[in-house]
Amino acid sequence: MHASLPDVDSLIAQLAAAIAPTLTPDTAIVGIHTGGVWVAERLHGLLQRPQPMGTLDISFYRDDFSRIGLHPQVKPSNLPFDVEGRDLLLVDDVLHTGRTVRAAMNELFDYGRPASIRLAVLVDRGGHELPIRPDFAGLVLAVPPHQNINLSRLDDGHLTLSLA
């Protein structure tokens, strides 16, 4: 882990503490594959949500799909609840351009019209290209365009952040 990046577990705990007072009993958590699902799983446990968590794979919804092609590890989306009229907490690991979040919202609306969608991200790294901002961010960090922030899951399940 890079010396300037905080521990992922503490960031997720801070996120959970900020999110908890804003949840309704009906709020469902939806993670975006892959890193967003890892963060959402932790938040789901910390926030003790009664309903199952949802997952989205936005591969087919990306606006650069025709340019970059299909990601070799496409996973099925799974929303084990009715999206229509529900408050959703959309979770991703790193917010950069906003295009992943836009694609996720497009997919969610294909399942129904949610009452609201709030966005929680582990890291908001700046560089937004769309008017998308998180409602909750564990860490806001200005990262130069030539660098990336990566969330990795180790074999033991531990999550780490690194700059590349």
Q: Which residue has the tokens 């399942």?
A: 111
In the chain, where the domains are located:
8-163
Q: Strand pairing partners for 159?
A: 153
The rounded average pLDDT for each run of 10 residues, N- to C-terminus, in the chain (164 residues) is 75 98 96 96 96 92 58 77 97 96 96 97 96 97 93 94 92
Distance CA(164)–CA(125), nearest Å, equals 13
Decide: helix, strand or coil at residue 58.
coil
Query: Amino acid identity, residue 24?
Result: T
Which of 95, 110, 98, 113 is closest to 62 using CA atoms? 98
Going along 17-85, which residue ranges are E strands? 28-32, 54-56
This prediction has a pTM of: 0.92
Amino acid 59: pLDDT: 83
Amino acid 108: pLDDT: 97
Amino acid 155: pLDDT: 94
Instruction: Return phi, psi of residue 94, to 5°.
Output: -130, 125
Decide which of 3.40.50.150, 3.40.720.10, 3.40.50.2020, 3.10.180.10 is the CATH code for 8-163. 3.40.50.2020
Amino acid 75: pLDDT: 74
